[in-house]
A and B are shown apart, each in its own frame.
Chain A
């Protein structure tokens, strides 16, 4: 084990402290240390976006952030997007509009879409498509993902 770092991160509203190897990527800390397996790893090159989470309110690809960089930050994962037992409007919209098939890209896609709607609450189709360029889906052809984001926006998703 290489050099370690002590980190303290607020994850989904809960303070989590940990001693991590300095090179540990945020995504592996979330998945393997905290058991938050909703955040996925789909590539090695920051292309697919399956690992997207929010850090201090903005979407980041957690495969390209060191856990050490998240020290002191607030991180929200798909598991914390809505209160336990409830659904965020985007989660509801993805279900309603069939915005997922295998579900593997879905958590990252929803987290990226949530960030998009915070910045642009009423996006056009084109803005949605360009806004989600950093997230790959192999199943849906994106058609219903765009519909879901539109639907969530129309329901006045909380900023």
Chain B
């Protein structure tokens, strides 16, 4: 029986359920010191003085350093790696400790190192920093206006860059349009908020530095940090032990990682830094924060002819690793599941006095899906057409795959009609509408929203994403090394670096089947740059479709060699050896067979002379760079109840149909979908990183930044279709981000459906009770209701709410 396709229980779990996981914060090294960082309380200011004398005198304090003190310890600043051809991106120097000016609340200005955690915290309070405040800008649209305070005087503008891509003739589509709909969307700032805060431990032994860190990207971190420290790559080892969730927040090379390395090197003792939750909210990069102006053009019959988006992305105060690239990452699927002949996209990046944004689960694709899906709903209303019928009319049809979009992107495979059909088999819409009508008569406001999505993932391919493509200064192939030990266990080194996805299990299933070894005896190793081959780590739902494929290729090479050894020993031709039920046997002679343990034993300790062209040992590597991305897709339905008395939204049902190709482990897929949807429900209903007009962070803890709890989400109904990708031999696509990409428009549309009888036509996320309640009150002509406790919410004269700046009402947009 093959293991692939089975819901194998996770190999990771026994240590984690018994408290024997090994996370970075668990590491204690002899003589270890604790670092605490002194951070700016100002959003924008000149540092006029730093007095560290009192801190240095405290018991247990080993050292206190300012940016000036450590200026010579770094050969280079924190990098940003996007260099799109022909586009200049304003990129300020970004050093681990600030000198001169601070640009956002939480900017690091000094570091205290002490023999205990508490001594370091106490001393940090005694570092006296004087600031001369400068004008602050937090709203990206205001930041683009003439006369706005500048985040960086040296650039003379808050605009970081513009980037555009287009295909087809949108102007003609607009001129000939029978119907045009326009809308403005705010996709607000969020936090990744893994439950494990960041932590880094650095150790120096003679010339060799080791960094243990809560990172998704140990290989990239070594590459970047060795350069920052001015040391050769072989002198730095980066280890990602068990990592307690990432969600993009740990897809970064952070100032603190560089700092602890510099401190360990300087002091000759191990140094640990652990983020507090407030530090996470303040200084782990944020996500989203985009404003999109969207136009769809169509014929009266519902055929969509053009799509234009003007996107303003609030990047915060610095360019981190991928900051300016992230808003752009969704561009291949802007246009959604629809065959739209003209697409015209334009991006403007903006500096503000806030923490930089970067990748958070979905990274550009949730934003893209949000606006295309909600604008399709709006177009349907404008046409008086059923929104699902409008989707069906415009879906790329099954027989059109591989489908080249107006932007020249090739969607690999899909069955969008099939996906929606499957959803409606699981969700009886007619029954729902009749139930909804009955409930409305009882004053219960229930609504449904749909999202039919396609996403792009499996980053890779290097030719599209790297220097020859959109311009990231990196490659995106993946590597694997498969070694069979003399007694028939497999040790697999992968270049990916999982942090909760269960790849120790799904990769063992793939390798085990190909090798003829029980997956329980396949050990997947990763996350240590001194082991295995170079890799490009885990993000962008790439681990399986790129890393898993590399592993499969290496395992097949091992299988080929095993067949040759087996053939030599059984005196058969290699092509006559087949792997059946874990045995390598001669075709037609089941009595002549060997197990992998026997073959590997012979490979390492030959019982007889093997042919001269067979090298000893049983180990192979593979490097794999795919030809294309992969494009998972699906259809989701969300049902909500809105309590008109309180404004509280409850998700009462959620049905998801996803297609990520053939399942390696269906249990893990469901788990990824559940978590992804919940992340999106969080964004749609509860979570928002809020800065006040002075640039002070209002949501600095889990008290103010509300992650969904078990009581805020329903059980999920999941189903799958399986459309293989032609891109890789496993046929697989990614699933880690799909739920997060799909769900915000479904939740938002459901709330709007529920609110429609109450006269509320549009609200931006997050759809918090206060925002919903005030909108209902205003729509009912009851004034603004009780004072709003939600910062940033404004209602226009029609009772429509907005976040950030200006009115935001897709239903105000022109329709002709």
Chain A residues with Cβ below 8 Å from B16 are 100, 103, 106
Interface contact B196-A102, CB-CB below 8 Å: yes
Q: How far is the CA of A82 from the CA of B20 in the complex (A)?
A: 13
Q: Flag whether B463 is at the interface (Cβ < 8 A).
A: no
B499 contacts A by Cβ under 8 Å: yes
The listed residue (A36, A103, A128, A145) touching B13 by CB distance below 8 A is A103
Interface string of B741-774 (1 = CB under 8 A from A): 0000000000000000000000000000000000
Inside 8 A of B674's CB, which chain A residues have their CB? 140-144
Query: In the complex, which residues of chain B have a beta carbon less than 8 angstroms from the beta carbon of A119?
Result: none
* Total B residues in contact with A, Cβ cutoff 8 Å: 61
In the docked arrangement, what's the CA distance between A12 and B25, Å?
Answer: 22
- A43 to B196 alpha-carbon distance, docked (Å): 9
Max chain A CB contacts within 10 Å: which of B19, B23, B502, B671? Answer: B19
Query: Which residues of chain B come closer than 8 Å to A100, judged between CB atoms?
Result: 10, 13, 16-17
Name the A residues within 8 Å of B703 (CB-CB): 45, 47
Binds B, one of A54-62, A67-75, A88-96: A88-96
Interface secondary structure of B, over-half rule: loop
- The listed residue (B19, B195, B501) touching A36 by CB distance below 8 A is B19
Query: Contacts A38-B19, A102-B243, A103-B12 given: A145-B196 contact, CB under 8 Å?
Result: no
Query: Is the beta-carbon distance between B195 and A42 smaller than 8 angstroms?
Result: yes
Q: Mark A119-139, 1 if CB is under 8 A from B, else 0.
A: 000000100111011111111
* In the complex with contacts A39-B19, A138-B247, A143-B715 CB distance below 8 A: yes
Chain A residues positioned under 8 Å from B679 (CB to CB): 138, 141
* In-complex Cβ contact of B702 among A40, A96, A110, A136 (8 A): A136
Q: Which residues on the A side are within 8 Å of B243 (C-beta)?
A: 102
Interchain CA distance A48-B193 in the complex, whole Å: 11
Check A44 against B277 for contact (C-beta < 8 Å).
yes
- Knowing A42-B196, A91-B18 are in contact, say whether A142-B13 is a contact too (CB < 8 A): no
**What residues of chain B lie closer than 8 Å to A107, measured between beta carbons?**
17, 19
A107 to chain B, nearest CB (A): 5
Fill in one digit per residue for A72-112: 1 if any B CB lies within 8 Å of its CB, else 0: 00000111001000010001001110101111111100100
Let me know if B667 and A98 touch, CB within 8 A.
Answer: yes
**Interface digits, B193-204 against A, CB 8 Å rule (1 contact, 0 not)?**
111110000000
Establish whether residues A142 and B278, one from each chain, have CB atoms under 8 Å apart when the complex forms: no
Contact between A105 and B701, CB atoms less than 8 A apart = no
A137-B675 Cα distance, complex, nearest whole Å: 9
A143: which B residues are within 8 A, CB to CB? Answer: 670, 674, 713, 715-716
Provide the bound-state CA to CA distance between A137 and B712, in Å.
12
Q: A16 interface residue, CB < 8 Å from B?
A: no
Number of chain A residues whose Cβ lies closer than 8 Å to a Cβ of chain B = 58
B26: which A residues are within 8 A, CB to CB? 31, 37
Any A CB within 8 A of the CB of B335:
no
**Residues on B with beta carbons closer than 8 Å to the beta carbon of A140:** 671, 674-675, 678
Pick the contact of B668: A43, A78, A98, A104 (CB < 8 A).
A98
In the assembly, what is the distance between CA of A87 and CA of B20, in Å?
13
- Could you show 22 A-B contacts with beta carbons less than 8 Å apart? A32-B28, A36-B19, A37-B26, A38-B21, A40-B23, A91-B18, A98-B670, A102-B500, A103-B21, A104-B196, A106-B16, A125-B715, A132-B711, A136-B195, A138-B195, A139-B245, A139-B675, A141-B675, A141-B716, A143-B670, A143-B713, A145-B710
Chain A positions within 8 Å of B, measured between CB atoms, are 1, 21, 23, 28, 31-32, 35-45, 47-48, 50, 77-79, 82, 87, 91, 94-96, 98, 100-107, 110, 125, 128-130, 132-146
Given A42-B197, A102-B244, A132-B711; 20 other pairs, CB 8 A cutoff: A1-B60, A38-B18, A42-B196, A44-B278, A47-B701, A47-B702, A87-B18, A91-B17, A98-B7, A100-B16, A101-B500, A102-B500, A104-B195, A128-B710, A129-B709, A134-B709, A138-B675, A142-B710, A143-B713, A146-B715
Binding site for A on B (CB under 8 A): 7, 9-10, 12-21, 23, 25-26, 28, 59-60, 116-119, 193-197, 242-245, 247, 276-278, 499-502, 667-668, 670-671, 674-679, 701-703, 707, 709-711, 713, 715-716, 739
Q: Which 4 A-B pairs have the closest CB atoms?
A: A38-B19, A104-B244, A102-B500, A103-B16
